[in-house]
Amino acid sequence: MIEVKNLEKRFYNFALEGIHLTVKKGFITGFIGPNGAGKSTTIRCIMNLNRRYQGDVRIFGKTHTENTEGIKQHIGFVQDENFFYGHLSLEQNKKLLAPFYKTWNEKLFKHYLDLFELPSMKKVDHLSKGMKMKFSLAMALSHDPVLIIMDEPTSGLDPVFRRELLELLQDIIQDEEKAVFFSTHITQDLEKVADFITFIDNGKIVVSEEKDALLDHYAVVKGPNEWLTTERRRLLHGVKETDIGFEGLLADKQQLAGEASGQVLLERPSLEDIMFYTVKERKNGHSTIA
Ligand SMILES: Nc1ncnc2c1ncn2[C@@H]1O[C@H](COP(=O)(O)OP(=O)(O)OP(=O)(O)O)[C@@H](O)[C@H]1O
């Protein structure tokens, strides 16, 4: 559905470098990374909103130069900023925007307005933050897109609706013909629904992999300080030492096979752990995980 190769985008004091990324049909791919890592910039390049970039971005096998209109017809896009006309009602916004989509489905739109409890006659400016996000979602889903790309769609949503949205996304990919790609800081959401994870830090992809495999081969290692020889320390990322002991992240737990037994604890990490220790390692001035 999406194939990005060697994407480069430069700003004054930031660069996306050598971004490789794929989003597969039938799956949900989560995009994670700390503030300023380059998630929105990558998404904007994929949507052709950042025009001057290098590299190959293909959606449905085509570049934007080949068929940008055709591509966008089949994408449901949710941005982190509100791009509707604030002084107009939801209904008026819909009337202006729906004609751009050949497959606009008015019944589906009404269904989402009801489901999301949105008042169609209210002005966008008078909606709460979460309601604006819900309206963005309703607009993005009502032309029955095959690819859904969202930049932090769950920010500002209450936990009940967030969970409902995750369920909705899982329903959408059930027919194995669609794909969802979304960025979020709520890594627990991705633990629930994502099939693949792409993690970006400081403009570079740290890891891009099937979620369960990723969580299987990383480990948080905890143990007494005397175990931490220089050699073993080199294997770990974001090491923190206290009087009680140390903890750090191991990218490939096979590297400690045999050596660890009995002396240290190897725990299955959360996505947040993987992010935390990796970013900590970079901030400490060491290289990131390859
Ligand atoms: N138009 C622009 N001009 C200059 N710098 C920009 C521009 N857009 C983004 N940047 C810079 O690119 C970097 C990456 O920003 P980006 O919005 O992609 O990060 P992000 O991972 O989405 O962060 P967050 O999680 O905080 O939303 C930041 O340093 C930002 O200042």
The position carrying tokens 């009940």 is 160
Confidence band, pLDDT 50/70/90 cuts, at residue 289: very low
Q: Ligand 1 within 6 A of 10 CB?
A: no
Residue nearest to atom 25 of ligand 1 (CA): 35
pLDDT at 38 over 90: yes
**Between 288 and 108, whose confidence is greater?**
108
How many angstroms is it from 123 CA to the middle of ligand 1? 29
Q: Is the CB of 36 under 6 A from ligand 1?
A: yes
Which residue has its alpha carbon closest to ligand 1 atom 12? 14
Element (H, E) at 220: strand 219-223
Question: Would the pLDDT of 252 be above 90?
Answer: no
Residue 222 pLDDT level (bands cut at 50, 70, 90): very high
Decide: helix, strand or coil at residue 156: coil
User: Element (H or E) spanning 245, and its range?
Assistant: none
- Whole-number Å distance, alpha carbon 265 to ligand 1 midpoint, is 37
CA-proximal residue: ligand 1, atom 24 (nearest): 35
What pLDDT, on a 0 to 100 scale, did the predictor assign at position 195? 96
User: In the prediction, which pLDDT does 288 show?
Assistant: 44
- Whether 9 is in the pocket of ligand 1, judged by its Cβ within 6 Å, is no
Please enumerate in sequence order all residues whose Cβ is within 8 A of that of 234, keeping only pairs 6 or more positions apart, or say none: none
Locate 200 and state its tokens: 């970006």
Which residues are bridge partners to 220 per DSSP?
249, 267
Q: Measured on CA atoms in the order 29, 60, 143, 53, is the torsion positive or negative? A: positive
Q: Which strand (E) or helix (H) includes residue 150?
A: strand 147-151
The residue-averaged pLDDT of 226-241 equals: 88
ipTM value: 0.97
CA-proximal residue: ligand 1, atom 13 (nearest): 36
Q: Looking at residue 290, what is its pLDDT?
A: 40
Find the largest Cα–Cα distance for the chain. Answer: 68
The mean predicted confidence, pLDDT, of the chain is: 90
pLDDT, tens digit, 9 for 90 and up, residues 49-99: 887 889 999 999 999 889 888 899 999 999 867 788 999 999 999 999 999
pTM: 0.90
Give the closest residue (by CA) to ligand 1 atom 26.
35
Pocket test for ligand 1, best of 7, 21, 40, 52 (most atoms within 8 A of CB): 40
The residue-averaged pLDDT of 177-194 equals 93
**pLDDT at site 44:** 93
| Candidate from 113-117, 166-170, 178-182, 257-261 with smallest mean pLDDT | 257-261
**What per-residue confidence (pLDDT) applies to 287?**
45
Ligand 1 probe mutation, 41, 184, 205, most atoms within 8 A of CB: 41
- In percent, the amount of the chain with pLDDT more than 70 equals 96
Spell out the residues 6+ positions from residue 57 whose beta carbon is closer than 8 angstroms to its own: 2, 3, 4, 7, 45, 46, 48, 63, 64
Report the SS3 class of residue 259: coil
Summarize the confidence of residues 173-185 as an average pLDDT: 92
